[in-house]
Amino acid sequence: MTDDRPRPQYGEYAPVGLPAPAPLDQATVTPTQPEVPPVTRRTWDVVLTMVLLIMGVADVVGSFPTFGNLAPVLSRAYEQQAIGTFTFDGLANDMGVAMNVVRIVLLGIAIGLGLFRIVHRKIAFWVPLAAGTLAFITVCGLLLVVVLTDPALAEYAVQRSNTP
């Protein structure tokens, strides 16, 4: 079917009698989105994360008694190194309890966040590594507070510096 009438210009009404435009096909109206490939499960990441979490649990459980009763451990270390007598038992035991609490909290966060990331198929091995590093830094800092505030170590350092 041909129509000799001129086509309407932009903004003009179509002349009476022109056929209605054909409806558009839905496939031509909706742009197709590219398919996103499903994220594959990384077996190495799951295994490595689980091994690191199990090592973290073993470390926290194994060192719990040591940190829970830190004063005798430091006394023994002072005797072995011939530093003198460790005197800050109360501070050492309090800091040992703080170390245990921090390590348990960090382990719980590592387990929760690590499993969350594994379920959502994201890289997760860094979570226990980061938690372990943070726990190590915290333990070292608290241990330094205990050791550096002890007068026996200060006396030992002064004696060593005065010895020719």
pLDDT at 44: 93
pLDDT at 88: 85
- Over residues 107-129, the mean pLDDT reads 95
- Tens-place pLDDT, residues 58-97: 999 999 999 999 999 999 999 998 888 888 889 999 999 9
pLDDT at 42: 87
Q: Decide: 100 and 90 in contact? Cβ < 8 Å.
A: no
Q: Decide: 128 and 53 in contact? Cβ < 8 Å.
A: yes
Q: Which two tokens stand for residue 50?
A: 């689980």
pLDDT at 27: 58
Exposure of 92 by Cβ count < 10 A (0-12 exposed, 13-18 middle, 19+ buried)? buried
Computed over every residue of the chain, the mean pLDDT equals 86
Using alpha carbons only, how large is the chain's radius of gyration in Å?
35
- Tens-place pLDDT, residues 15-26: 676 666 666 666
pLDDT at 162: 79
pLDDT at 145: 93
